[in-house]
């Protein structure tokens, strides 16, 4: 019997156990998605570098396939305290907070929106209470036909976050979604987020993926964001799990006319992080600004894949990802920008800069522009370089020892991205986190 | 304070300094002049400890100790300061925080407690005023996007804050307009005390109208070919380095012949 078959039957058995524990009231339609997604996952299997698979060329997910990760069993009490949540992730007064422990919604740790008109809820409930909206949008942006991990996430879809903004509605304080992985060995979580922002609405949303303890974990997260015309969303995604965690995430956004998405993707700590961020600029005037920051060490692996689809004229995209790569670690950046025929006056800029601190570290950065319109402005750049020794000497000539000098320069390198973080609590938290992580760099 | 004996320095196998001798005592102001490429910046960089330069022979004593054996940060903490000819840009490193880190590194070396933030800010404001600097520059990244003149002033600000015992100014005057030059000179003159010393590297005598040197040395092709008082700078101004070069060649020829 081949190992693949063993795993397939494992997932089938897991799926049956998982589904039998769900109540189907009002969300039978979801059951159909789950079943179809599991079948699709069984066909696709985990991606491998073979089969000419560019998207997974540099990132080996065999440890995930081998890891026999299983979803958290039902009915376990979260062993997480409110203090843990505040310590592990950014926090500020007034934020609405949904907390998930090992993929399951933890109501006791969550704080509902203060304003009744704001719909922020566990997706499992929203699938019934806001069925029309959820059914219309869920799986629409992150389909499970081609993406094995998204298929797996959808097959095991249960809890997650639903954020629904009414037309013209503004949420001043951030909505914080905290996904905590606890100490139970070989647990998988498949959290799902759906954000639907109606016309001219506005919100700031933070997703934090964190761990308590250092057991081997697998997080497989999918986020879908729909921005109707004129909507504005600031989206922060912090993947900060423990060094034994494998994290695969996929975020898909669709932007209508004049909608604006600002995204910051901050990555630190896990054994492997793969994040696919796809933004489709579907309406004229839509624009996105995507920033990313990562630091890797030891044998960590961080892989950011971005895809910007300029599908309409007068659309703008800005991407700036920076990373510090140390030890035997590896950073991958693949940025694809597509300007479709007719998307005149598209304006796309992309840059990825890496600071390489060790001989053993590796950077694979691959920007690509595919342009099928003639009146466009597009640029991209990618670099991987070492610390400037003249700069190190300059600092030493002012009394800083060599370690201090290098630390100051490395922190300066990341500062440029940190400065783009508009949300104070996230900026302060990220500053502290990277300062601590890069102190000895 | 500083004694340089027979200093030979190479970069990547090419000898740049070919036996420099120089003594600087506390309370003195020295000027080193010389044409482009003669080795002036090489000398200042070696004194500051730039690892890109190899000392192939000679010795340097600073306050009685072996300067060349000290790492650059120890030289700085012991009071040596180089105002760079081409200050590097440090993206993302805030000027104010950088200066505070430097001040406290030096204080720690001298067994002093870190300076209170309030005291540091006061000191910084004072020195910003002294250097007539745009105070927004200290909130920015060190030298990043600064004009040539702003970079030079920023070097002077650092010098004023760190209060060195031995200050080396490498062409601080170039890129400064006359008003800026006067301000910088005033700042330098305020630093002058009987227990410290200043070495000014320049190839114009302009700066020396405002900071009066006790000694002037002419560095050509890696050697100090003449030393004298303030009048040597004026002589250089009128005759140019070619004149001095001619003198030297004549002297060398006479020696060889005699
Ligand atoms: N990093 C370097 N690599 C190779 N040669 C250098 C380097 N820096 C300076 N030089 C050479 O050393 C000589 C002296 O340079 P420098 O000390 O900068 O002169 P000055 O400051 O008097 O103009 C010049 O010929 C210059 O080209
Ligand atoms: Mg020079």
pLDDT tens digits, chain B, 258 residues: what are they?
999 999 999 998 899 999 999 999 999 999 999 999 999 999 999 999 999 999 999 999 999 999 999 999 999 999 999 999 999 999 999 999 999 999 999 999 999 999 999 999 999 999 999 888 888 999 999 999 999 989 999 999 999 999 999 999 999 988 888 888 998 898 899 888 999 999 999 878 888 889 999 999 999 999 999 999 988 888 888 888 877 765 665 554 444 433
The predicted-structure confidence for A195-243, as pLDDT tens digits, reads as follows: 999 999 999 999 999 999 888 899 999 999 999 999 999 999 999 999 9
The predicted-structure confidence for A252-290, as pLDDT tens digits, reads as follows: 999 999 999 999 999 999 999 999 999 999 999 999 999
Burial annotation A411-431 (CB, 10 A radius, 16+ → b, else e): bbbbbbbbeebebebbbebbb
Tokens of B243: 């004149």
pLDDT over 90 at A11, yes or no: no
Average pLDDT of the residues in A375-396: 96
Pocket of ligand 1 from Cβ distances under 6 Å: B 11-12, 16, 34, 36-42, 52
CA of B53 to the centre of ligand 1 (A): 10
pLDDT over 60 at A441, yes or no: no
Burial annotation A74-112 (CB, 10 A radius, 16+ → b, else e): eeeebebeeebbeebbbbeeebbbbbbbbbbbbeebbee
Query: Helix axis angle, B178-191 relative to B117-130, nearest 10°?
Result: 130
The complex scores an ipTM of 0.94
Count chain A–chain B contacts defined by CB atoms under 8 A: 84
CA of B222 to the centre of ligand 1 (A): 10
pLDDT at site A77: 59
Query: Does A107 touch chain B if contact means CB atoms closer than 8 Å?
Result: no
Q: Which residues of chain B are within 8 Å of residue A419 when distances are taken between CB atoms?
A: 92
CA of B183 to the centre of ligand 1 (A): 29
* CB distance B1 to B168 below 8 Å: no
Per-residue CA distances from B118 to A81, A100, A123, B123, B128 (Å): 38, 44, 51, 9, 15
- Count of C-beta atoms within a 10 Å radius of residue B60: 20
Tell the residue nearest (CA) to atom 24 of ligand 1: B37
- Residue B44 to chain A, least CA–CA distance (Å): 11
Per-residue CA distances from A128 to A118, A121, A401, B116 (Å): 17, 11, 61, 59
Compute the distance between CA of residue A148 and CA of residue A34 in angstroms, rounded to an integer.
13
Q: Which residues of chain A are within 8 Å of residue B84 when distances are taken between CB atoms?
A: 394, 397
Name the helix (H) or strand (E) containing B148: helix B148-162
CB contact under 8 A, A391 and B92: no
CA dihedral A395, A400, A405, A407 (to 10 degrees): -140
The predicted-structure confidence for A74-93, as pLDDT tens digits, reads as follows: 556 568 999 999 999 999 99
Q: Which chain B residues touch A if contact means CB-CB below 8 Å?
A: 48-52, 71-73, 75-77, 81-82, 84, 87-88, 90-94, 98, 101-102, 105-106, 109, 141, 158, 162
Q: Which residues of chain B are within 8 Å of residue A391 when distances are taken between CB atoms?
A: 88, 90
Compute the distance between CA of residue B200 and CA of residue B185 in angstroms, rounded to an integer.
11
- Residue A408 to chain B, least CA–CA distance (Å): 7
Residue in A293, A305, A235 with CA at minimum distance from that of residue A269:
A293
pLDDT at site B175: 82
What's the alpha-carbon Rg for chain A, to the nearest Å?
21
Per-residue CA distances from A281 to A1, A259, A404 (Å): 46, 9, 44
Instruction: Quickly state the pLDDT bin for A4 (edges 50, 70, 90).
Output: very low
Ligand at minimal distance from the CA of B173 is: 2
Ligand at minimal distance from the CA of B83 is: 2
Using left for φ > 0, alpha for ψ between -120 and 50, and beta otherwise, residue A12 falls in: alpha
Query: Does A415 touch chain B if contact means CB atoms closer than 8 Å?
Result: yes
Which atom, in ligand 1's list, is nearest to the CA of B35?
Answer: 22
* CB distance A24 to A131 below 8 Å: no
The predicted-structure confidence for A288-315, as pLDDT tens digits, reads as follows: 999 999 999 999 999 999 999 999 999 9
Residue in A43, A108, A48 with CA at minimum distance from that of residue A80:
A108
Per-residue CA distances from A1 to A4, A8, A47, B125 (Å): 8, 11, 20, 76
CA of B43 to the centre of ligand 2 (A): 9
Chain B residue closest in CA terms to A408: B93
CB contact under 8 A, B91 and A390: no
CA of B42 to the centre of ligand 1 (A): 6
Min mean pLDDT across A41-50, A158-167, B73-82 is at A41-50
* CB distance A226 to A137 below 8 Å: yes
Min mean pLDDT across A92-96, A380-384, B187-191 is at B187-191
* CB distance B99 to B158 below 8 Å: yes
Which residues 338-397 of chain A have a CB within 8 Å of chain B?
388-391, 393-397
Compute the distance between CA of residue A171 and CA of residue A205 in angstroms, rounded to an integer.
10
Name the helix (H) or strand (E) containing B179: helix B178-191
Of A175 and A63, more confident? A175
pLDDT over 80 at A12, yes or no: yes
- Residue B77 to chain A, least CA–CA distance (Å): 5
pLDDT at site A213: 86
- Count of C-beta atoms within a 10 Å radius of residue A59: 20
């Amino acid at each position: 019997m081949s190992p693949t078959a063993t795993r397939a039957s494992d997932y089938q058995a897991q799926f049956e156990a998982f589904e039998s524990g769900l109540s189907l009231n009002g969300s039978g339609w979801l059951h159909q998605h789950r079943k179809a997604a599991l079948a699709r996952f069984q066909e696709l299997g985990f991606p491998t570098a073979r089969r000419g698979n560019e998207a997974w060329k540099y990132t080996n997910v065999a440890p995930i396939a081998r890891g026999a990760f299983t979803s958290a069993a039902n009915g376990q009490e979260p062993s997480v305290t409110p203090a843990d949540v505040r310590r592990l992730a950014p926090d500020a007064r007034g934020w609405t907070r949904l907390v998930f422990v090992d993929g399951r919604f933890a109501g006791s740790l969550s704080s509902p929106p203060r304003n009744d008109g704001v719909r922020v809820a566990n997706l499992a409930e929203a699938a019934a209470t806001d069925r029309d909206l959820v059914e219309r949008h869920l799986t629409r942006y992150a389909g499970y036909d081609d993406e094995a991990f998204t298929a797996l996430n959808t097959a095991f879809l249960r809890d997650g976050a639903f954020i629904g903004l009414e037309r013209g509605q503004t949420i001043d304080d951030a909505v914080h979604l905290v996904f905590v992985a606890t100490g139970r060995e070989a647990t998988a979580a498949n959290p799902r987020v759906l954000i639907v922002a109606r016309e001219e609405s506005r919100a700031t949303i933070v997703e934090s993926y964190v761990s308590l303890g250092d057991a081997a974990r697998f997080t497989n997260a999918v986020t879908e964001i729909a921005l109707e015309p004129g909507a504005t969303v600031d989206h922060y995604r912090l993947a900060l799990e423990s060094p034994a965690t494998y994290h695969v995430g996929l975020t898909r956004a669709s932007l209508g006319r004049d909608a604006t998405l600002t995204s910051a993707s901050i990555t630190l700590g896990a054994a492997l992080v793969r994040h696919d961020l796809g933004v489709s600029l579907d309406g004229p005037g839509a624009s996105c600004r995507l920033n990313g920051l990562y630091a890797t060490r030891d044998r960590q692996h961080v892989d950011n894949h971005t895809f910007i689809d300029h599908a309409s004229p007068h659309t703008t995209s800005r991407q700036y990802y920076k990373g510090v790569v140390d030890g035997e670690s590896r950073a991958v950046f693949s940025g694809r920008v597509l300007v479709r025929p007719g998307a005149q006056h598209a304006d796309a800029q992309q840059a990825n800069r890496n600071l390489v601190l060790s001989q053993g570290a590796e950077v694979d950065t691959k920007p690509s522009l595919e342009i099928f319109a003639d009146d466009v402005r597009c640029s991209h750049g990618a670099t991987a370089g070492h610390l400037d020794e003249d700069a190190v000497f300059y600092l030493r000539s002012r009394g800083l020892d060599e370690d201090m000098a290098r630390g100051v320069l490395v922190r300066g390198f990341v500062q440029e991205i940190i400065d783009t973080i508009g949300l104070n609590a996230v900026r302060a938290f990220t500053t502290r986190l990277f300062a601590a992580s890069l102190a000895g760099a | 304070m500083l004694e340089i004996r027979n200093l030979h320095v190479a970069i990547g196998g090419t000898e740049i300094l070919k036996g420099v001798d120089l003594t600087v005592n506390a309370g003195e102001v020295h000027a080193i002049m010389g044409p482009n490429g003669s080795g002036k910046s090489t000398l200042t960089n070696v004194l500051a400890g730039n690892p890109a330069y190899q000392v192939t022979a000679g010795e340097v004593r600073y306050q009685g100790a072996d300067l060349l054996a000290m790492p650059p940060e120890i030289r700085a903490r012991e009071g040596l300061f180089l105002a760079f000819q081409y200050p590097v840009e440090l993206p993302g490193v805030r000027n104010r925080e950088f200066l505070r880190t430097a001040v406290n590194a030096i204080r720690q070396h001298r067994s002093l407690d870190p300076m209170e933030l309030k005291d540091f800010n006061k000191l910084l404001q004072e020195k910003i005023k002294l250097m007539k600097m745009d105070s927004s520059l200290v909130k920015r990244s060190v030298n990043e996007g600064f004009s040539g003149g702003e970079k030079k002033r920023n070097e002077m600000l650092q010098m004023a804050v760190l209060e060195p015992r031995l200050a080396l100014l490498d062409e601080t005057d170039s890129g400064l307009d006359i008003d800026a030059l006067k301000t910088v000179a005033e700042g330098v003159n305020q630093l002058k005390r009987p227990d410290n010393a200043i070495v000014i590297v320049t190839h114009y005598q302009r700066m020396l109208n405002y900071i009066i040197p006790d000694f002037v040395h002419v560095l050509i092709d890696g050697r100090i070919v003449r030393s004298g008082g303030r009048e040597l700078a004026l002589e250089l101004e009128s005759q140019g380095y070619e004149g001095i070069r001619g003198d030297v060649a004549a002297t060398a020829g006479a020696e060889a012949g005699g």
